[in-house]
Chain A
Amino acid sequence: MLSLLRQSPLSARIGLGIVLLNCLVAIFAPWIAPYDETAVVGDVWESVSTQFFLGTDHIGRDLFTRMVYGARNTIALAFLTTFLSFLFGSFLGFVAAVKGGWIDQMLSRAIDVIMSFPTLIFALMILSVLGSSIPTLIFTIALLDSTRVYRLSRAVAMDIEVMEFVEVARLRGEGMWWIIRHEILPNAMPPLTAEFGLRFCFVFLFIASLSFLGLGIQPPLADWGGMVRENAGAITFGIFTPLIPAGAIAFLTVGVNMIVDWFLHLSSGLHE
């Protein structure tokens, strides 16, 4: 593992650095942040000063503190959600591809039904029925996202499923589980990993739009997407406050994708 790291290209190291930095900030948030997450400590949209590193937000909370706590909420939420959606989505996708026939039909049509609703409306529907709490938020977004993952993993698995080594396994008498675990999954990893990097970023934005509608992360908890929304008005006054959380999202996204690219490169066996 260490030697692998030593051979890693510069971009991957930068990506790792970014993600590591974000994770450290998220873990040690209470020690890093100078103020309390929800405390109003200054005036509205104060500019950068020694007292407030990044100024204050729309109701006078320290933006740096909010950023640090926001990292915690946002990253944990996004990772968990993406992970869950991949767990559901790829499992069902693989089963559909390997089993085929009516199981495939049933799963695919059910997924089509979910996909035919605009995601935002669907999420609003579920959240307004069940109420917005962090667990329901995670499960709702994971469920909606998993439809896309299902489509992708089914398509990828279909391509692998027709390969002769899968036929060999079938002729040997292997069960479905073994075929998925040993023949399909290792070969499906590269495209799924790439998709992971992308989906991970979309989750931020989705949470942000839900927060805007009041069904996302509930204030006063800080999250980057929500912070962009809350402070969006500042742009009209020429204040750059909303750009800071937006920048943080971009920064982390780029970092994650740099690692994903490296991983893709490794697993596809290309050495150029």
Chain B
Amino acid sequence: MTNLLEIKNLYIEAHSEEVWQPIVKDISLTLKKGEVLGLIGESGAGKSTIGLAAMGYTRQGCRLASGSILLDGVELMGASDEDLRLVRGSKIAYVAQSAAASFNPSHRIIKQHVEAPVQHGIMSYSEAQKEAIKIYRRLFLPDPEKIGFRYPHELSGGQLQRAMVAMAMSCEPQIIVFDEPTTALDVTTQIEVLAAVKEITEKMNKAALYITHDLAVVAQVAHRIMVLRNGRLVEEGETRALIRKPKQAYTRELLNVRSLREDKNQSDKMAVILTIKDVAATYTGEENVLEDINLTVRKGRTVALVGESGSGKSTLARVITGLLPATGGSINFLGEDLPLELKHRTKDNLRRLQMIYQMPDTALNPKQTVRRVIGRPLEFYFNMRGKKADARIRELLSSIELEPDTYINRMTTELSGGEKQRICIARALAARPDLIICDEVTSALDQLVAEGILDLLQDLQNKTDISYLFITHDLATVKAISDKIVIMLEGKIIEQGAKKKVLSPPHHEYTDKLLSSIPEMDPDWLDNLLDERLDSFI
């Protein structure tokens, strides 16, 4: 079989600080008809850059420096814009990470779908529409006849992502580049998209580059896997062989991230510090987004709050912090009833309850230094200034494993994602809280970095007996860090209990679906699961 795509000794450079620096170094790859190649690595590994380069494209500020990109025998390196335009969409197509951001919100889905085939002169408008409906059906979109005539905001995240996969297929390209198509989705919807990807690669026999940071996901769809780091190839191999026997230490690290931590002594009698009783809340004043919420958090323990997006878990965090006053029920914190509204709470109430956010980028003021960020709570709550504050900031930086001298005077914009999140943790710790609410704190981070953050949080808990309310949609994280699990669906708690109890059968029906949707490091997992679910449909 001939190679559909052949990249040889590719170097890509990015322009930064007045010089061109290589970001992809000496990458070679081949892709045969019907083959799926997984590209895996952390952010900055160059995987998306390679994916785009396969289409002869680079992001702004980057350039293809040397090497060769042969697509179906045509050299894309140095090809004219017109030549590239003919190739893109028709021979090779791209599926981006965030379908919601990639669709034009003011056009109907199908109008965007037919644009490429009509532009390339492959089909007429009405033919293209018929083809679109066919492919919607193949990708299991509900109501395939009509769904294309809706606007992007009328579809759910998973449906939109599948519509985008369908759109990539509109010109029947030979190769599709999937750039993290499931990263922004819940585990339960991730399955739908993975099924669509499988449909295309296996049944329609298309070749694909599948880019992701999640080894368990790529194991489901790829025949071969390339592990990348800092723009270089770490290891390449056939999927099963690579997972069974990774040669490089880095690959082993990636494989091990989902390992369980030791369980703490469960038979403890730690004092209850937070009791939420019959809490309800609403945004509109009519419909309740939260109802009958009852839960407790014990000192030195971690409660994981799990659910899909829209299940109300972040809303519950807002209710606990008082940003969204509860309309009913009570919140008891450290033995006293907390006023439901933020403005009625005392400084001490506020100090003892801190919060860490999902996006460290927006949780830190870009115009402040690390010293200022951590120093302000010290000044505000403890009136600590000057030398004393300086010493405490350094102590806090050491406790989050950042070198004080290097970081104390940095601007927050000069930090990496993981470092920023550590600074957010330090800011919360500076207040000496009893409870920290962690809202999806690891979901915006790379796996290994996230792993480091979880370790740090665990360490801090072991040392200081701090409690966490850990909000997440990632069950792997839950398994790793929690003592108690609370599962939410549509604003209600549907199951809660000690970790072991919730994770072992019998489950609530929804818990079962949630648990079975977590990808496992087994290449047959998806196929088996799909078979199983299909059976249950019939």
Contact = CB atoms under 8 A, between A and B. Distances in A.
Contacts of B359: 164
B79 interface: no
B380 A174 contact: yes
B427 A173 contact: no
5 contacts: A164-B359, A168-B427, A170-B342, A172-B380, A172-B431
B362 interface: yes
Contacts of B355: 168, 171
Contacts of A220: none
A183 interface: yes
A172 B365 contact: no
Contact of B350 (A173, A183, A186, A272): A173
A6 interface: no
Nearest to A170: B342
Contact of A172 (B17, B366, B367, B377): B377
Contacts of A187: 365-367
B469 to A, nearest CB: 14
B376 to A, nearest CB: 8
B323 interface: yes
Given A164-B357, A269-B413, A173 B363 contact: no
B48 interface: no
Nearest to B321: A171
A193 B291 CA distance: 47
Contacts of B388: none
Interface residues of B, number: 27
A171 B323 contact: yes
Interface in A200-218: none
A186 B367 contact: yes
A20 to B, nearest CB: 28
A11 B32 CA distance: 53
B146 interface: no
A168 B363 contact: yes
A114 interface: no
A165 B363 contact: yes
Contacts of A165: 362-365
B321 A164 contact: no
Contacts of B366: 187, 269
B350 A172 contact: yes
B357 A271 contact: no
A167 B362 CA distance: 10
A149 B366 CA distance: 23
A183 B365 contact: yes
A152 to B, nearest CB: 19
* Interface of chain A, main secondary structure: helix
Interface of B: 15, 17, 61, 321, 323, 342, 345, 347, 350, 354-355, 357, 359, 362-368, 376-377, 380-381, 413, 427, 431
A110 interface: no
Interface in A130-189: 163-165, 167-168, 170-174, 182-183, 186-187
Contacts of A174: 380
A165 B372 CA distance: 13
B347 A186 contact: no
Given A172-B377, A269-B413, A164 B347 contact: no
A173 B355 CA distance: 13
A171 B345 CA distance: 10
A134 B61 CA distance: 51
A170 to B, nearest CB: 7
A173 B365 contact: no
Contacts of B427: 168
A164 B358 CA distance: 10
A171 to B, nearest CB: 6
Most chain B CB neighbours (cut-off 10 Å) among A171, A182, A271, A272: A171
Contacts of B367: 186-187
A183 B321 CA distance: 20
Interface string A85-126: 000000000000000000000000000000000000000000
B412 to A, nearest CB: 9
A266 to B, nearest CB: 12
Contacts of A183: 365
Interface string A245-272: 0000000000000000000000001011
A3 to B, nearest CB: 17
Contacts of B363: 163-165, 168
* Chain A to chain B: the 8 pairs with minimum beta-carbon distance, closest first: A186-B367, A164-B363, A165-B365, A173-B350, A164-B357, A164-B362, A163-B362, A173-B347
A167 B322 CA distance: 11
B70 to A, nearest CB: 33
A269 B412 CA distance: 12
Given A168-B357, A172-B350, 12 more contacts: A164-B362, A165-B363, A165-B365, A168-B363, A168-B427, A170-B342, A172-B376, A172-B377, A172-B381, A172-B431, A182-B368, A187-B366
A186 B373 CA distance: 14
Nearest to B348: A173
A174 B380 CA distance: 8
A171 B355 CA distance: 8
A183 B15 CA distance: 32
Contacts of A163: 362-363
B365 A171 contact: no
Contacts of B381: 172
Contacts of B364: 165
A212 to B, nearest CB: 43
B15 to A, nearest CB: 8
A67 B345 CA distance: 62
A265 B61 CA distance: 17
A186 B431 CA distance: 24
A163 B362 CA distance: 6
Nearest to B16: A271
A173 B323 contact: no
A171 B17 contact: no
Contacts of A170: 323, 342
A156 to B, nearest CB: 14
A172 B323 CA distance: 12
B254 to A, nearest CB: 29
Most chain A CB neighbours (cut-off 10 Å) among B355, B365, B366, B377: B365
Contacts of A182: 365, 368
Contacts of A164: 357, 359, 362-363
Contact of A171 (B61, B342, B362, B376): B342
Contact of B365 (A186, A269, A271, A272): A186
B378 to A, nearest CB: 11
A174 to B, nearest CB: 7
Contacts of B347: 173
Nearest to B347: A173
A167 B365 contact: no
